[in-house]
Amino acid sequence: MLKGKKIAVLGLGVSGFESARFLRAKGFEVFVSDQGSSALITERAGALAGMGISVETGRHSTERILECDWILISPGIPPTSSVYRAAEAKGIPILSEIEAASWFCPSKRVIAVTGSSGKTTVSTLLGRVFEKALGRTVVCGNIGNPWIGEISGLGEGDTVVLEVSSFQLMHCRTFRPETGILLNLSPNHQDWHRDMREYAAAKLRIFECQNSGDHAVLRRKDQESFFPGYAFKASRHYFGADPSLNPNEEVVRLAAGIYEVDPQMTEDVLRHFEGIEHRLEKVALLNGVQYINDSKCTTSASLAWALSKFPDKSVVLIAGGHPKSEDFAEVRDLVAAKVRYAVLIGEARPLLRRAWKDACRQSEANDFSGAVAEAHRVAAGGDTVLLSPACASFDMFRNYEERGRTFKALIRAFDPSREPDRAAPALVKD
């Protein structure tokens, strides 16, 4: 734990709010600063002020922030921001909620999951497996509920399954999961990280503080491509050598095996898993057209994974938003094979248009509802209308959840009398 009790929490999202509240209870002198001024931020600021915590909204008072011993930063504040640069120039430690939570967690069985795609699915599955096999398990982190907000309810014998992002890992110093899982590496968050090297280095922090009694789970091809000389201290466990296997399921089986879980328990969880909201989620079957919400897809690699589930030339794709990288040409051949028609949206439209030129028929929509209406218009029986944007949502929505729920509401409005069709044709098997 860093020395110094005077800290600044930058950002009043859910992790910032929970961090301020927890650290105040631990005796830290907390100052909270958020440039925003929404109704939710104002509500949270009022709640913290009621606890005796100093809060400002609508600005960052840089001088006051730089008087603190260390800073807990929100992933929403990039290294290019003026307050970040000022703190960095002064040498003030900048940490994430994950780092701070790790100082106080009583449980030693912490399984951390990161990667360019698949984090939420694998974390959810592992949570169910360990709950069934090992007892009380808490799934938290980047999945939606901050780890630091769960600490007070955890015991030594509990299991923590933690989804962690590159932003969070980049600002960790001593965080040490008993098992660290790196699912995959592909271009992502190039709007936040300087380059792929920095992005990969951030992901590798999941292994940095491990020792010989810990476990590192990863793909050999990622190691060979991005960090061939990395010195692991933990025991290594590789997956992904057999392309015919579902990598998410393979990781779950491997991680469960590390903890000697009965394989039958693991298979039961995998067999009965209904999926997660916004990840290849069935919305409706209307007039022979299947509607799928994959709003959680924010990268080209994730789009490739989604498209691989469908027959050739059967997809009416809605793609676009705020681009996190410019690698869309890498999936051009798959788009050409799988997509019959693409509706392009958001800031990424010109990038997608150039990358997928002549790969499929295309149109562009000025707003989201227009894109959904166009996809519905051109779809025919046997098609799948797939929202799989390969981009972040921030140019049009607060987050991918809002984007996905808007999509579902618009689809159901085409036939409001119908609930989602549970008898919809199954997706192509993994």
pLDDT per position as a tens digit, 354-413: 999 999 999 999 999 999 999 999 999 999 999 999 998 989 998 899 999 999 999 999
What is the average pLDDT across 71-82? 89
What is the average pLDDT across 425-429? 33
Question: Tell me, which fold does domain 281-414 have in CATH?
Answer: Protein-Tyrosine Phosphatase; Chain A (3.90.190)
Neighbours of 112 (CB within 10 A): 29
What is the average pLDDT across 173-191? 84
pLDDT per position as a tens digit, 320-365: 999 987 889 999 999 999 999 999 999 999 999 999 999 999 999 9
Region of residue 141 (left: phi > 0; alpha: psi -120 to 50; beta: else): left
Check pLDDT > 80 for residue 422: no
199: confidence class by pLDDT, cuts 50, 70, 90 = confident
What is the average pLDDT across 215-234? 96
pLDDT per position as a tens digit, 29-38: 999 999 988 8
Contact 125, 111 (CB under 8 A): no
Retrieve residue 138's tokens: 């808490």
**pLDDT value of residue 192:** 58
In this structure, the dihedral spanned by the alpha carbons of residues 114, 250, 299 and 293, taken in order and rounded to 10 degrees, is -110
Domain ranges in the chain are 6-95, 99-272, 281-414
417: confidence class by pLDDT, cuts 50, 70, 90 = low
Averaged pLDDT of the chain = 92
**pLDDT value of residue 430:** 26
Check pLDDT > 50 for residue 305: yes
pLDDT per position as a tens digit, 229-284: 999 999 999 999 998 888 999 999 999 999 999 999 999 999 999 888 898 999 99
426: confidence class by pLDDT, cuts 50, 70, 90 = very low
- Percent of the chain beyond pLDDT 90? 80
Q: What's domain 6-95's superfamily in CATH?
A: NAD(P)-binding Rossmann-like Domain (3.40.50.720)
User: Is the CATH number 3.40.1190.10 carried by domain 99-272?
Assistant: yes
